[in-house]
Chain A
Amino acid sequence: MAVDTIDQPAKPAASQDSRFQRYRVRTGMFAWMAHRLSGVALVAYLVVHVWGLRALTDRASFNELIAGYHAPIFKIGEFLLLAAVVYHALNGLRIVLIDFLGWSPNQKRLFWSLGAVAAVLIGVGGYPTIYSLVEYFFLAA
């Protein structure tokens, strides 16, 4: 993926003492790892989501399913889902722009600019969920 941000010469490879490679995590590597992790999480969510919506064919089980999704743990999950989607979408868009338009912008600045956009979207989009969770846990009479 075209997200390499070399700002220091590569150090000689350290001797590998486990089957896992040790990486130096810099901006590009962080972007790639977070993209991967959020992607796998989103596939897991997609499986649960599509499988759960079998209930759409029956009134009682659909209402039961939706009520269950309003439990605190799922509301927290809903916020995390938003964060994963927004990150994956914006970083994915960055990859597409670079791959298709041959962009070679200042990679780090582009990444952190999109990071700021992501933070705003997550904050605004997640506000109602966070508000209702705070209300549930701390303000409930």
Chain B
Amino acid sequence: MASRAASTSNAQSWFLHRITGTFLIFMLITHFWVQHYDQQTATISHDVLSTEQIENDVLPGYTPEAEAAVEARFGETAEVTPYDVVMLRLADPVYAVLWKAFNILFLIVALHHGFYGLNNVMSDYIRNPMARKTAKVLSWSLALVLLVVGMYSVLVAGW
């Protein structure tokens, strides 16, 4: 049943999976660096908050560098919340455009790699052709929804 066109497409997908995977390594390193290790702009801090603290609207704390940068950009009275730290990055128009472009590309590559891989796994365990087709359609629909939602979030953030 495997037509020539289908097997060509499978080979291309197999090849693409390796290309996207290699790309993802570099993109993930960039993503991790920005989110976790830059003293000024890391959105994820190491604070662990108890349920009680979260209920009382306690927010994770940031480095003195991040606080100073937020205050320098948004004024002495600016609150240093996770949202403001992200906005600090997006306040620079050049960085904002680069960040948006990078994240849209990252989103597309990650979704393709993830959902292609998931479909590989599913087609190994789902034997019924109809069920396999259904799983394929449902999973790629979810990927499409995430692509639209994710692109919207990235584009609208800070504007």
| Contacting residue for B150 out of A50, A89, A132, A136, CB 8 A | A50
Q: Quick one: CB contact mask for B51-64 with A, threshold 8 Å, 1 for yes?
A: 10010011110000
Query: Does A114 touch B at the CB level, under 8 Å?
Result: no
Report chain A residues within 8 Å CB of B58. 67
Q: Quick one: CB contact mask for A62-94 with B, threshold 8 Å, 1 for yes?
A: 111011111110010010000001000100110
- 27 residue pairs of the A-B complex, CB under 8 angstroms, read A46-B110, A46-B146, A47-B142, A50-B107, A51-B146, A54-B149, A57-B152, A59-B83, A62-B83, A63-B82, A66-B44, A66-B60, A66-B83, A67-B57, A67-B60, A70-B48, A70-B54, A71-B48, A72-B48, A72-B50, A92-B25, A93-B25, A125-B32, A132-B46, A132-B47, A133-B48, A136-B50
Interface size on B, residues (CB 8 A): 42
* Distance between Cα atoms of A114 and B36 in the complex (Å): 24
CB distance from A77 to the nearest CB of B (A): 12
Given A46-B110, A57-B156, is A70 in contact with B121 using a C-beta cutoff of 8 Å? no
Interface size on A, residues (CB 8 A): 42
Within 128-143 of B, Cβ neighbours of A (below 8 Å) are at 142
Return the chain A residue nearest B107 by Cβ: A50
* Distance between Cα atoms of A67 and B43 in the complex (Å): 11
| Contacting residue for B153 out of A42, A57, A68, A93, CB 8 A | A57
* Distance between Cα atoms of A64 and B18 in the complex (Å): 37
Q: Quick one: CB contact mask for A100-135 with B, threshold 8 Å, 1 for yes?
A: 100000000000000000000000010011011101
Within 61-110 of B, Cβ neighbours of A (below 8 Å) are at 81-83, 86, 107, 110
Return the chain B residue nearest A19 by Cβ: B127
